[in-house]
Amino acid sequence: MRTLLNIIWVVFGGFWLFLGYLLFGLIACLFIITIPAGVACFRIASYALWPFGRTVVETPGAGAMSCLSNVVWFVVAGLWLALGHIATAALQAVTIIGIPLAIANIKMIPVTCFPFGKRIVEGPGIL
């Protein structure tokens, strides 16, 4: 079931989310100071491409710099990305087949808003 949902996800929005995160990750890696944000974008991009069957967990001992980076990230990008996920979820929820995709979009918002100090692992995850 997860594989089927992931294939539907890729076709109906996941591929474009993946490309967007990948593009912004490459742009962030142009400057030395924003390389951690680029790495976070790459991590989110892999999650956005194949989210079902994966989950986000806290990284133990992430530290204060992770918290500070999350605050900066949220102001610069996280809020806007979250609004994009909400808009996409609203469009996907129009059909019955799209409801699980909309739920997946909503469940991606926490890592989209605060990516530092988190990692993505195989597990029960979305659905």
| Residues 28-77: tens digit of each pLDDT | 899 999 899 999 999 999 999 998 888 888 888 778 888 999 999 999 88
Contact between 93 and 99 under an 8 Å Cβ cutoff? The reply is yes
The SS3 assignment for 100 reads helix
Q: Are 75 and 110 in contact (CB under 8 A)?
A: no
Q: How far is CA 102 from CA 7, 74, 108, in A?
A: 15, 22, 10
Q: What is the full DSSP assignment across 34-92?
A: GHHHHHHHHHHHHHHHS-BTEEEEEPTT--HHHHHHHHHHIIIIIHHHHHHHHHHHHHH
| pLDDT greater than 90 at residue 123 | no
pLDDT at 45: 92
